Amino acid sequence: MAKKTVTKKTKKKSVLEKEVKTPSKASSSRKSVVAKPARKAPRAKAAAPRRPKGAPWQWSAVETAAAIRSGAISAVEAVESHLERMRSVNPRLNAVVVDLSKEALAAAHAADKQRARGGELGLLHGVPVTIKENVDYQGRPNFNGVPANKNLVAPSDAPVVRNLKKAGAIVIGLTNTPEFSFRGFTDNPLHGLTLNPWDPDITCGGSSGGAGSAVAAGIGTIAHGNDIGGSLRWPAHCNGVATIKPTQGRIPAFNASATAERPMLAHLMSAQGPLARHVADVRLALEVMSQRDPRDPWWVPAPLVGEKPKGPIKVALAKIPEDMDVDPSVAAALRQAADHLERSGYRVSEVEVPDINGVWQTWCDIITNETVVMQEASMLKVASEDFHKAWGGMKAKANVLDLPAWMRATAARNGHIRAWQLFFEDYPVVLAPTTVKPTPGPREDAVSAERVREIFWGEIRFISAINVLGLPGAVVPVALHEGKPIGVQLIAGRYREDLALDAAAAIEKRVGVLAHRLWETMA
């Protein structure tokens, strides 16, 4: 019987773990005639754990996790720093609407005890984060910006919350969202208006506006949000931070507090995701958030990194339709982003992407008609006047579909996805605008139905269209115009978030982190 060869497996270390090597004892090459006691070599003084510069609330999630892991800072100190920052700036922003300070500090103390015992540490052990108040947080009402939802108490954490906690993240607060998370502007009768930390006269975006405002201002290293028509990417643009709207199915989603199952196409077009000041933090949060949860039947166990395209990677700078009036500041930002990519080794060409107008109209028709049938009556019954105005504007551009037309629209979606997938064979990344206009005021969608149509169709067409395709889209800040941030969108093929984030990181490397400039202006 042949002997079995036993192969010793080695555990792959996390990028956050530092390998510590113990120096071997030097052996003497000479033998002494008279035996003498061996002289002990002086012990090398252990280097003090590295502590990043500045206050802990200013650190990235990657830096914070590494500092806690190494012992340079305790989880309690990290959380206390973020809570102090929250107390300092949140009263004027109204970004965090549920203060979880007490339980956050208790969790931080537990995290430090776990580290002291030598327990296994998650990728975000002790790292402060925020959660958007439209996913289930155990024991709390899932208000979703609606006072009438006070009885929708979550019996368990949503998958994204559970995954963050399992990785050791500490939730310090819940962030604001508009009613039913249906507006692109963050205001509701329950918690009120959330302001943009750069300028109170422009919107913080929506529906993850509270998340974007909080993380830009230094409240939490990572902010959770979600996106069905731009609700991660639009706030990232408005607040000067980075994000990724993942491929549908990448991050599991489910709310046990919901009174009914979500409609199919709404589920297929929606995605959970992170907002952060650093692209590396977005990447780390994506890894943590995307762990399996059996409650989501659409979750896909796709790898986070795919095969690298043959270089140089070709980037399509999307041609903007002639009916979209592009502001010079946006055109300049797109050119600047293209130049940064070129200098980083990419090859950028201005190219017309597949039927962006038809894609957007398909998104608008599907989501509007599905909402009218499944949710509209119950929403309008308890919603504010501003919600009625905003929703009326969204409906104005949609075609009313009967059943045959609905089936044709859902079939058309398949054709659009196929066309874009074939396009990515030649251009693995698309560089596109988030909006073609300067950021509007904080309640501009409540002005008129016509203004809502202008915003969604005429200004942020390239954002909302991507949801119906289920594609990943990153946003990264590029420039400031008159003191207000401008971001660009980087779109990649299905489950190729890595390509979108690689391009975003290349831009960030040359632009820097805009939030650092913001903090200089905040008293």
Please report, for the chain, the start and end positions of each structural domain, with discontinuous segments joined by +.
Answer: 56-521
pLDDT of the residue at 93: 98
Confidence of residue 503 (pLDDT cuts 50, 70, 90): very high
Task: State pLDDT tens for residues 473-482.
Answer: 999 999 999 9
23, pLDDT greater than 50? no
pLDDT of the residue at 136: 98
pTM for the full predicted model:
0.91
Active site residue 207: yes
Helix or strand (DSSP H, E) at 252: none
For residues 125-149, give the mean pLDDT.
Answer: 98
For residues 243-252, give the mean pLDDT.
Answer: 97
Residue 355, both tokens: 């039927």
pLDDT of the residue at 320: 98
29, pLDDT greater than 50? no
494, pLDDT greater than 50? yes
**Residue 287 DSSP one-character state:** H
95 within 8 A of 219, measured Cβ to Cβ: yes
Read off the amino acid at residue 310.
K
Confidence of residue 119 (pLDDT cuts 50, 70, 90): confident
433, pLDDT greater than 70? yes
Q: Which of 207, 257, 270, 384 is catalytic?
A: 207
* For helices 356-374 and 461-469, angle between their N-to-C axes, nearest 10 degrees: 70
Residue 90, both tokens: 């949140």
Q: How far apart are CA 285 and CA 304, in angstroms?
A: 12
pLDDT of the residue at 81: 98
Query: Could you tell me where the beta strands, DSSP code E, fall in 253-325?
Result: 271-276, 314-318
Confidence of residue 247 (pLDDT cuts 50, 70, 90): very high
The torsion defined by the Cα of 130, 135, 136 and 137, in degrees rounded to 10, comes to 10
232, pLDDT greater than 50? yes
Percent of the chain clearing pLDDT 90 (strictly above): 89
Nearest one of 403, 186, 155, 169 to 295, comparing CA atoms: 155
290, pLDDT greater than 50? yes
Q: Which of 13-17, 430-434, 439-443, 447-451 has the lowest mean pLDDT?
A: 13-17
Inter-CA distances, 506 with 37, 213, 311, 337, 477, Å: 58, 24, 15, 9, 12
Nearest one of 161, 185, 160 to 100, comparing CA atoms: 161
Confidence of residue 44 (pLDDT cuts 50, 70, 90): low
Active site residue 156: no
Task: State pLDDT tens for residues 375-401.
Answer: 999 999 999 999 999 999 999 999 999
Active site residue 132: yes
The CATH number for 56-521, chosen from 1.20.1540.10, 2.40.50.140, 3.90.1300.10, 2.60.120.260, is: 3.90.1300.10
Q: Which of 132, 389, 395, 397 is catalytic?
A: 132
Q: Which of 60, 181, 208, 231 is catalytic?
A: 231
1, pLDDT greater than 80? no
